[in-house]
Amino acid sequence: MFEATNKIRVRYAETDQMDVVYHGNYAAYFEASRAEAIRDLGLTYKDMEAMGTYMPIIELHCKYLRPAHYDDLLSIKTILKEMPTDHRIQFHHEVYNEAGKLLTIGHVVLYFIDAATKQKTTMPAFLLEKLAPFFETARD
Amino acid sequence: MFEATNKIRVRYAETDQMDVVYHGNYAAYFEASRAEAIRDLGLTYKDMEAMGTYMPIIELHCKYLRPAHYDDLLSIKTILKEMPTDHRIQFHHEVYNEAGKLLTIGHVVLYFIDAATKQKTTMPAFLLEKLAPFFETARD
Amino acid sequence: MFEATNKIRVRYAETDQMDVVYHGNYAAYFEASRAEAIRDLGLTYKDMEAMGTYMPIIELHCKYLRPAHYDDLLSIKTILKEMPTDHRIQFHHEVYNEAGKLLTIGHVVLYFIDAATKQKTTMPAFLLEKLAPFFETARD
Amino acid sequence: MFEATNKIRVRYAETDQMDVVYHGNYAAYFEASRAEAIRDLGLTYKDMEAMGTYMPIIELHCKYLRPAHYDDLLSIKTILKEMPTDHRIQFHHEVYNEAGKLLTIGHVVLYFIDAATKQKTTMPAFLLEKLAPFFETARD
């Protein structure tokens, strides 16, 4: 299992008139947190695109347990439970507030797409190499 | 079954550098289309809030089949398959482009919340009354 | 002078916890309304990009006189007061609510950029041709 | 003069199909950076609202000199050049990329509004106290 945590401060722009974070904004919170998780591995999603692999979102699932509020400093976990074996990769996300309360859970499915052919491909070798150590001793 | 269709023109603001609508923006497309579906019934979600019922989103699920692009005129269906019997209501959404291609499917779960008590409640009578005719003759 | 009016219904996503449209969202309202103004002329900004002219925003100015609220049906005027003579074009925008109250005024400056050379260019002939009739008899 | 710098990493959600940060998103970058500037003073805008002072945006002005791109780590300066003497406060913003290039400049005008009366008011004493040391020795 690979896991990383990213902090995001809620902006006024992201609230709605129900005084909470608008539910659609979690997609961007998850995305920013995945980017930081990949950065923790020593590469960037930006590099991946530059090297010819796009990762469009194919599915998004969110459950909103408790609201997040303006100025909350959220901790957003990005969890990869299984190593991808084909063109799909699934990340789980958990959003916590400063009191440690779990606010939102979600997961996204992304495809690996070859930028040149626009076809599905498998995980690039350089990403697999970075992730492998997290999955060596035991399967989660 | 109750069904309504809303048209949304994709804004430049809603695209990302993959030249498609950013996946998180469908939440707002669905929301705007639900609002129009309720307006088709002769009331508004704004009125519902004013009359004391909030409907926060509890779950959001999206599957992205094909991308939507800048300036596409999307047709977004809002479908209520079953009459709510408790505090939950589930809407299904389908997004089509002008060529009639299905781009995205999703569904959301909302709760009926009493604005005064902040507790779960059931569907307000005035909404039930508007929806009843669509569910009278046959169950879908 | 060339003028066009576009209607935009305020989405919940666009409100903030001050119960008004978040000020940054007017940029997208202006953009969507410029796109409709160009469509009124018989072409689209999408076509313009496809034909090799980009129009990035160089300046944005907004004055917020009165707030817009959720579900308001806004009328957004796009006004071209002067025909561009170089690489700059300036559009004025006015946002009105259903009661006819002026809520927001703004203007944007855009450049004409040649997609191939990435250099400033002048207004494409096909756009000039469409706009000319509005500026023939009198200068505003 | 009071000045503070905030770092913001550009999200994919904030780009558009011109491969740059959508111009409307700088409003939220400025807002988030003002919030951090106020936090640097030892209070928060959230507290200010809780203590009865709202600060709606009355004007927004942006000049886009160079584009910001996905994954750029932006440095956003918030500058208060003059102490407010009435209900208005004006902040200047400058956005730099990691290479130190100035990308965007802007300024916003906000009003101090009393939450109870909804009327214009002057800067709360607790904010004035925090800012005073920055304006004591010399006017900028």
CA neighbor of B78 nearest in space, from B134, B28, B4, B1: B4
pLDDT band at residue C37 using 50, 70 and 90 as cut-offs: very high
Task: Tell me what the mean pLDDT of segment D110-122 comes to.
Answer: 96
Answer whether residue D140 is part of any domain.
Answer: no
Max CA-CA distance within chain B? 48
* Residues C19, D50, D10, D82, CA torsion sign: positive
- Please give the pLDDT value at position C137: 66
Partners of residue A20 in chain C, C-beta under 8 Å: 17
**Model pLDDT, residue C91:** 98
Instruction: State yes or no: pLDDT of D136 exceeds 90.
Output: no
Could you read off the pLDDT of B24-83 as tens digits, one per residue?
999 999 999 999 999 999 999 999 999 999 999 999 999 999 999 999 999 999 999 999
Partner residues linked to D79 by β-bridges: D3, D92
Neighbour-count burial for C69-92, b at 16+ CB within 10 Å, e otherwise: bbbbebbbbbbbeebbeebebbbb
The per-residue pLDDT for D138 is 52
Condensed to tens digits (0 to 9), the pLDDT of residues C106-123 reads 999 999 999 999 999 999
- Output the pLDDT for position D137: 66
Asked if the Cβ–Cβ distance from C63 to D67 is below 8 Å, we say: no
Q: Is residue D117 classed exposed, middle or buried when 0-12, 13-18 and 19+ CB atoms within 10 A define those classes? A: exposed
How many structural domains are present in chain C?
1
CA distances from D86 to B13, D34, D59, D120 (A): 36, 19, 16, 9
Pairing of strands C73-80, C88-96: antiparallel
Report the chain D residue with the minimal C-alpha distance to residue B70.
D17
Spatial contact of B38 and B44, defined as CB atoms under 8 Å apart: yes
- How far apart CA A62 and CA A32 sit, in angstroms, is 16
- For chain B, positions 58-87, list CB contacts with chain D under 8 A: 70
Q: Is the pLDDT of residue A96 over 70?
A: yes
**Torsion angles phi and psi, residue B21, rounded to 5:** -65, 130
Distance (Å, whole) CA C50 – CA C48: 5
Bridge-based pairing of strands D88-96 and B73-80 is unpaired
Give mean pLDDT, residues A61-79: 98
pLDDT of residue A135: 95
* A86 part of the active site: no
Residue B79 and residue B120: Cα distance in Å, rounded?
Answer: 23
With 70 as the cut, is the pLDDT of residue C49 above it?
yes
Decide if C19 and A22 are in contact by the 8 Å CB cutoff. no
**Predicted confidence (pLDDT) at residue D126 exceeds the cutoff of 90:** yes
Task: For residue A110, give the 3-state DSSP assignment.
Answer: strand
- Contacting partners of chain B (3+ CB pairs under 8 A): A, C, D
Closest chain C C-alpha to D25 CA, distance in angstroms: 7
Q: Residue A25: inside a domain, yes or no?
A: yes
* Chain C residues near residue B28 by CB distance under 8 angstroms: 11-14
Where does residue C91 fall: left (phi above 0), alpha (psi -120 to 50 degrees), or beta otherwise?
Answer: beta
The answer to whether residue C140 sits within a structural domain is no
Domain containing residue C63: CATH number: 3.10.129.10
D23 by DSSP, 3-state: which?
helix
Q: What is the pLDDT confidence band of residue C76, given thresholds at 50, 70 and 90?
A: very high
**Over 70: is that where the pLDDT of B16 sits?**
yes
Q: Domain of residue A14: give its range.
A: 2-135
The full 3-state SS of B49-61, as one line of letters, equals HHCCEECCEEEEE
At residue C136, the pLDDT reads 84
In 3D space, the residue among B110, B126, B109 whose CA is nearest the CA of residue B50 turns out to be B126
Q: What is the pLDDT of residues D8-36, one digit of tens each?
A: 999 999 999 999 999 999 999 999 999 99
What is the C-alpha to C-alpha distance for residues A135 and B4, in angstroms, rounded to an integer?
A: 47
Q: Are D72 and D25 in contact (CB under 8 A)?
A: no
Question: Do B24 and A27 make contact, defined as CB atoms within 8 angstroms?
Answer: yes
Strands A102-111 and B102-111: unpaired
Confidence check: pLDDT of A140 > 80: no
Report the percentage of chain A scoring pLDDT > 70: 97
**pLDDT tens per residue, range B39-52:** 999 999 999 999 99
With a CB cutoff of 8 Å and minimum separation 6, the contacts of D40 are D4
Judge whether B32 is closer than 8 Å to chain A, CB to CB. Answer: no
Structure token digits, residue B4? 């309504």
Instruction: Give domain status of residue B138, yes or no.
Output: no
Q: Rounded mean pLDDT of chain D? A: 96
Q: In the prediction, which pLDDT does A136 show?
A: 84
Indicate the average pLDDT of chain B.
96
Q: What is the mean pLDDT of residues D73-88?
A: 97
Is residue B69 packed enough to be buried (19+ CB in 10 Å), middle (13-18) or exposed (0-12)? middle
Nearest to A24 among C13, C17, C24 (CB): C13
The answer to whether residue D72 is domain-embedded is yes
Within-domain flag for A79: yes
pLDDT at B136: 84
Name chain C contacts of A19, Cβ cutoff 8 Å. Answer: 17
pLDDT of residue C97: 98
D19 touches chain A (CB under 8 A): no
DSSP helix/strand/coil, C87: coil
Tens-place pLDDT, residues A108-134:
999 999 999 999 999 999 999 999 999
Chain D interface test: which of C21, C45, C57, C118 (most D C-beta within 10 Å): C57
Residues of chain A above pLDDT 90, percent: 96
With respect to residue D23, please indicate whether it lies within any of the assigned structural domains.
yes
Pairwise CB contact (< 8 Å): B61 & A56: no
B13 inside 8 A of chain A by CB: no
Residue C138 has pLDDT above 70, yes or no: no
SS3 D64: strand
Cα(C115)–Cα(C101) distance, integer angstroms: 40
E-only strand ranges, B30-112: 53-54, 57-64, 73-80, 88-96, 102-111
Helix (H, G, I), strand (E, B) or coil at A33: helix
From chain D, the residues in CB contact with B19 under 8 A are 17
B64:A57 CB<8 A:
yes
Residue range C64-91: mean pLDDT, rounded: 97
CB contact under 8 A, A60 and B31: no
For chain A, the first-to-last Cα distance in angstroms comes to 6
Q: Which residues contact A81 (CB under 8 A, 6 or more apart)?
A: A1, A90, A92, A140
A7 at the D interface (CB within 8 A)?
no
- Report CB contact under 8 Å: C61, D60: yes
Residues of A in contact with D13 (CB under 8 A): 27-28, 31-32
CA distance B71 to B11: 6
User: What string of DSSP letters covers C42-70?
Assistant: T--HHHHHHTTEE--EEEEEEEE-S---T
Q: Is residue D139 included in any domain, yes or no? A: no
Using a CB-CB cut-off of 8 Å, the residues of chain C touching B71 are: 35, 44-46
